[in-house]
């Protein structure tokens, strides 16, 4: 919440000074198991999301991805690689999400973010809350996913 408030304040002053504010950087993971992807059934919004979140101060994208997936799912990710980058807007703020393909180990746990669910990615389309996640899942279906 403090991060979003600080960004709104900086955007306000940037507009006064006619300066462009860089996008908020976030990460997300596409973790597959057989023909399904791991999603979070979000507790604070109506819809699904990919596990991930905002990159924090002094954190690189790999550290952020590992932390966010662990916090939201209880899983430790491995063998991850960048799948794509997705610019978007959230509540009027510019965002850039770096989406990774990843494998994961461990015991799944739910978090304050929501419940972990495995879905065929085609069944999640139109039900994803974040536009960048929707774009990433569409690209995944088009370029990687095999139908079964």
Token pair of 24, please? 């908020």
Q: Residue 98: is its pLDDT beyond 70?
A: yes
pLDDT at residue 20, rounded to an integer: 72
Rounded to an integer, the average pLDDT of 140-144 is 94
pLDDT at residue 93, rounded to an integer: 83
Rounded to an integer, the average pLDDT of 10-28 is 75
Q: Residue 147: is its pLDDT beyond 80?
A: no
Residues β-bridged to residue 105: 76
Rounded to an integer, the average pLDDT of 32-57 is 95
Spatial separation of the C-alpha atoms in residues 88 and 97, rounded to whole Å: 8
How does the average pLDDT of the chain come out, rounded?
A: 90
Please state the pTM of the whole predicted model.
0.85
Spatial separation of the C-alpha atoms in residues 28 and 111, rounded to whole Å: 16
Confidence grade of residue 12 (pLDDT, cut at 50, 70, 90): low
pLDDT at residue 67, rounded to an integer: 98
Cα 114 to Cα 45, 62, 109, distances in angstroms: 9, 22, 10
pLDDT at residue 22, rounded to an integer: 82
HEC profile of 71-135: HHHCCEEEEEEEEEEEEEEECCEEEEEEEEEEEEECCCCCECCEEEEEECHHHHCCCECCHHHHH
Rounded to an integer, the average pLDDT of 78-105 is 94
More confident residue, 9 or 118: 118
Place of tokens 């995944």: 140
Spatial separation of the C-alpha atoms in residues 100 and 81, rounded to whole Å: 5
Instruction: Please say whether the dihedral angle defined by the alpha carbons of residues 80, 83, 86 and 91, taken in this order, is positive or negative.
Output: negative
pLDDT at residue 92, rounded to an integer: 79
pLDDT at residue 45, rounded to an integer: 92
Phi, psi angles (nearest 5°) of residue 40: -105, 120
């Amino acid at each position: 919440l403090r991060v979003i408030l600080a960004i709104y304040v900086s955007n306000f002053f940037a507009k006064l000074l006619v300066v462009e504010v860089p996008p908020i950087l976030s990460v997300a993971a596409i973790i597959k198991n057989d023909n399904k992807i791991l999603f979070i059934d979000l507790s604070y919004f109506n819809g699904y999301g990919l596990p991930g979140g905002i990159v924090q101060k002094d954190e690189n994208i790999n550290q952020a991805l590992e932390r966010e997936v662990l916090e939201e799912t209880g899983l430790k990710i491995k063998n991850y690689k960048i799948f794509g980058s997705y610019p978007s807007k959230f509540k009027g703020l510019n965002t850039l999400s770096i989406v990774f393909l990843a494998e994961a180990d461990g015991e799944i746990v739910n978090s304050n973010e929501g419940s972990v669910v495995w879905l065929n990615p085609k069944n999640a389309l139109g039900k994803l809350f974040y536009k960048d996640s929707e774009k990433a899942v569409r690209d995944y279906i088009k370029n990687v996913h095999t139908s079964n």
